[in-house]
Structure 1
Amino acid sequence: MPPMPAGAQRHGPSWVDKLKMGALMGGTVGSIMGFIYGTVTIFQYGAGTAGVMRTLGKYMAGSGGMFAVFMGVGSIIRSDADQRALQMWRAQYRTPIIHPRSDMLRSRR
């Protein structure tokens, strides 16, 4: 198979893809946390007039929606950095080069 041409490099995901991925992860985690919290609350205080499934669904939907919004927005904010600025920051704060002991001994002589 011939090598890929130089201009055919794939770019990273768009901000919409990042938003969807963050919202999906947040919704999943939030739904699980809502399930746990709702189950504990139903065991402690009862389901009330709405019933067990509707009460548990409300906890899961509320928690999942909240986490989805926060994670979706957070994934866009975190990954919106300019690559040139990031490379300049890495170049400025990289770890210093430490010479081996033999080089240090030779330089003292």
Structure 2
Amino acid sequence: MEPTKFERAKVGAMMGGAVGLCIGLVFGGISAMRNGPGSRGYVNNLAQTMLSSTATFAFFMAIGSVIRSEEAKAIDYSSLEFNNSKRFKTPPVIILQQQRDSDSRR
């Protein structure tokens, strides 16, 4: 069964959140070492950097995974034409275009 767009967005947000946490830890740690703790201390600055990068990455990854979740048709490779030397008689791009055109006419 194909996952729904909401499920894909949820998975994308989780992946983006994991990446955002790691990036926030790295950049927040580097920033704290370079600039010092600031007015709120090391932990608060690091936590804010991690949370903001997590939210940003999760948001954009969720949107990106929904955009890319269009259903792709499976290619029937058995219908592609080979000659004896295992090379294509016709370039695969042309064969797939012909197959797509014949599917759209139906």
Q: TM-score, normalised by structure 1?
A: 0.69
**Aligned-residue offset at 1:98:** 3.3
Q: Which runs of 5+ in 2 are unaligned?
A: 87-106
Matches within 5 A, 1:31-42: 31-42=21-32
TM-align CA RMSD? 2.0
Q: Distance in 1 between matches of 2:80 and 2:47?
A: 51
Letter of the 2:48 partner, please give it: K
Of 56, 59, 63, 2:49 maps to 59
**Aligned-residue offset at 1:96:** 5.0
Give 1 or 2 for the bigger CA radius of gyration: 1
Q: Distance in 2 between matches of 1:54 and 1:75?
A: 31
Is the aligned partner of 1:100 residue 2:70?
no
Q: Distance in 1 between matches of 2:4 and 2:48?
A: 32
Change (3 A) 1:47 1:12: same
Q: Which runs of 5+ in 1 are unaligned?
A: 1-10, 102-109
Change (3 A) 1:13 1:46: same
Q: TM-score, normalised by structure 2?
A: 0.70
Q: Distance in 2 between matches of 1:47 and 1:96?
A: 66
**Seq. identity, %:** 31
